[in-house]
Amino acid sequence: MPSFKSHLVAFVLKATRKKAFASPENLHAWIARARTRQDHRPPAAVARRLAVTEQRVAAMPVFRVRRRGGAAGGPAIVYLHGGAYCFEITPHHWRLIAELAERLDATLTVPIYPLAPEHSFEAIFAPMRALYRRLVEEEPADRLILMGDSAGGNMALVLTMMAAEAGLPAPGRQVLISPGLDMSLANPAIRRMADRDPWLDIPGGLEAVALYAPALARTDWRVSPLYGDLSVLPRTLVLSGTRDVLSPDTVLFAERAAAAGVDVELVLEPDMIHVWPLIDMPEARHARDRIVAFCRAR
């Protein structure tokens, strides 16, 4: 049975954030407001707990995060934050990043990629490709874990497919949290679920995709990795909740990936909302335990 806190979070989101995705006009208004408030830097509490350094890759800020004083003998994780391609990394992301660094003794690389609508697909992915190339030159690719939530999960898949196209090695594994997989949002099951989702909606979602990739078809694999070559993917953990409008495509992705020979594990959590593992509630703790176990497995 879903926790009281999960119901409370869903109620608050439906009264607030769902409005951002109710129409293209609302999305633009939320983006304009966000630009005056958002800060991509780690919150002070995270910066105090962990060793955090910043560098630039192709002019893109990139943070490296690790346990303070630790040997960082765990995996090397690249975390791509969500936000409908248009919104900045949040304290929710940073708290998950901090927990992973501490529990896994891992080094996390966190790119602060350019955002739409000020930037579009190629300008966003050019520095990401440069970062990935640098990472696979620095250490064995099988130590790398690409992880992302929502739009970041979409981008993690696309980056892996781009690496394969360029002849670069794949990461050792991937973790996808409520990923966007078919950004045409044409699946009839998605249309039927829109009212049940307390956070996302179709009109604003389609507008976000149009701002992000105006020159690409929504069914292009670079926008909708569900249509790409899934056989190039490494071992993959994908988490989705049944109150997430994106969950029908997540189930379809897991089926197609398995058919393509990918070792894929789907966690489909009953009554959970979009990116619930990032939110402070009991169900998130269980999901984070599953992510940690997957990243630890040899």
User: What pairs with residue 57 in β-bridges?
Assistant: 60
Q: Is the pLDDT of residue 73 over 90?
A: no
- Please give the Cα distance from 34 to 82 (Å, whole number): 14
**Most distant CA pair in the chain, distance:** 51
Mean pLDDT score of the chain: 96
Confidence bin at 68 (pLDDT 50/70/90): confident
Q: In terms of Cα–Cα distance, which of 32, 80, 10, 24 is closest to 205?
A: 24
SS3 at position 284: helix
pLDDT average, residue stretch 283-290: 97
Is the pLDDT reported for residue 150 higher than 70? yes
Q: Is 177 helix (H, G, I), strand (E, B) or coil?
A: strand
Distance of CA 66 to the CA centre of its chain: 20
* DSSP string for residues in 35-103: HTT---SPPHHHHHHEEEEEEEETTEEEEEEEETT----S-EEEEE--STTTS---HHHHHHHHHHHHH
- Residues 177, 183, 189, 191, CA torsion sign: positive
> What's the rounded Cα separation, in Å, for the pair 132 and 150?
20
Could you tell me the pLDDT band of residue 1, with boundaries at 50, 70 and 90? confident
CATH for 4-296? Answer: 3.40.50.1820
* Structure tokens that stand for 190 in this block: 């998605």
Phi, psi of 32 (to 5 degrees): -60, -40
pLDDT at res. 71: 65
- 70 band by pLDDT with thresholds 50, 70 and 90: low
pLDDT tens across 180-200, in order?
999 999 999 998 999 999 999
Cβ pair 45, 74 in contact under 8 A: no
Contact 76, 109 (CB under 8 A): yes
Instruction: Give the pLDDT confidence of 261-277 residue by residue, as tens digits.
Output: 999 999 999 999 999 99
pLDDT average, residue stretch 17-27: 97
Euclidean distance between CA atoms 208 and 241, whole angstroms: 21
The predicted structure's pLDDT at residue 72: 63
Backbone phi and psi for residue 96, each to the nearest 5 degrees, phi listed first: -65, -45
Closest CA to 121 of 153, 157, 85: 85
List the structure tokens of 4.
Answer: 């009281």
The pair of structure tokens assigned to 86 is 């248009």
Closest alpha carbon to 276 in 13, 15, 26, 75: 13
- Pair of tokens at residue 239: 């988490």
User: Among 65-74, 224-233, 251-260, which stretch is predicted with the lowest mean pLDDT?
Assistant: 65-74
